[in-house]
Amino acid sequence: MSDNLKYALARAQLRSADLAAALAVDPKTVDRWIAGRVPYPRHRYAIADFLQVAESELWPEVAQRQRVIADEVQTVYPHRWAVPQAAWKQLFKSATKEIGILTYSGLFLAEDAGLLRLIAERARAGVSVRILLGDPDSREVAARGAEEGIGPEVMAGRTRNAITLYGRLRDVERVEVRLHGTVLYNSIYRADRDVLVNTHAYSTPAADAPVIHLRSNSDVGTAAVYLTSFERIWNQSQPLVDA
């Protein structure tokens, strides 16, 4: 039961029917809120405003979740090309346990010889490196090429180039490269608790799509959603083998 909402109504000398009328909702809906169901955000804001109390006073558990999310979000870049090169370098340089890359090609990183050397150095220092690239012969890679407007052949070619470049890291101990045939809704670049998520948008090249820098604070936060996705794709992917 939501005692906070019940007591707030009592203090205001209002009934649940009064709240239902003010918000233009069914009285049974208010009864469910009082019984413990958390309202949608628009209703929470309206209830707090109507009762002249803080939302956090009525639903402290929601406020706590919002603080956790706010703590996780470090930076939001409007486009991937707007992420400073120094930020990519710092991301991988900071890794002490694990580096993870999930993308179709990630060619913008693979063509940076300095970053590849840095990743190799971290692996030699004991960091586990896992790289997931798109299978160039998969329908998913072809579809992404069509969606970005560059065509399936170009996308497959970019992926093959990336495989060649990232594949050179396989000679380094603790580096593993796998291929996947998965519909990606985002690319993921991870270094321990720090995660850069490059969102994918239809008809928009990945370089033009936003990047969100998250820092994982728990096993149930926002970053954990993407890290779980990474693990599931990794577990169903295939190791890269020489042709």
**Mean pLDDT score of the chain, rounded to an integer?**
90
Q: 50-54, 212-216, 220-224 — which one is most confidently predicted on average?
A: 212-216
Interval 111-121 mean pLDDT: 96
**Domains, the chain, ranges and CATH?**
3-58 (1.10.260.40), 73-239 (3.30.870.10)
3-state per-residue secondary structure call for the chain? CCHHHHHHHHHCCCCHHHHHHHHCCCHHHHHHHHHCCCCCHHHHHHHHHHHCCCHHHHCHHHHHHHHHHHHHEEEEECCHHHCCHHHHHHHHHCCCCEEEEECCCCHHHHCCHHHHHHHHHHHHCCCEEEEEEECCCCHHHHHHHHHHCCCHHHHHHHHHHHHHHHHHHHHCCCEEEEEECCCCCEEEEEECCEEEEEECECCECHHHCCEEEEECCCCCCHHHHHHHHHHHHHHCCEECCCC
pTM assigned to the model: 0.73
Q: What span, in angstroms and rounded, lies between the C-alpha atoms of 122 and 94?
A: 9
Averaged pLDDT for residues 1-7: 76
- Check pLDDT > 80 for residue 199: yes
Write down the pLDDT at residue 158. Answer: 95
- Over residues 81-104, the pLDDT tens digits come to 999 999 999 999 999 999 999 999
Among 121-135, 187-201, 204-218, where is mean pLDDT lowest? 204-218
Least confident segment among 45-59, 102-116, 225-239: 45-59
pLDDT of residue 66: 56
Is the pLDDT at 225 greater than 70? The verdict is: yes
Which pLDDT belongs to residue 221?
Answer: 79
Q: What gap in Å lies between CA 31 and CA 34, rounded to an integer?
A: 5
Say if residue 54's pLDDT is above 70. Answer: yes
CA–chain centroid gap for 191, Å, is 13
Residue 63 pLDDT greater than 70, yes or no = no
Considering only residues 118 and 41, tell me which one the structure prediction assigns the higher pLDDT: 118
Q: Which two tokens stand for residue 97?
A: 């346990």
56 versus 75: the higher-pLDDT residue is: 75
Q: Return the minimum-mean-pLDDT range out of 20-24, 46-50, 65-69, 120-124.
A: 65-69
Which tens digit of pLDDT belongs to each residue from 120-168? 999 999 999 999 999 999 999 999 999 988 899 999 999 999 999 999 9
Q: How many CB atoms lie under 10 A from the CB of residue 179?
A: 20
Report how far residue 199's alpha carbon sits from residue 41's, in angstroms, rounded to the nearest whole number. 24
Residue 60 pLDDT: 77
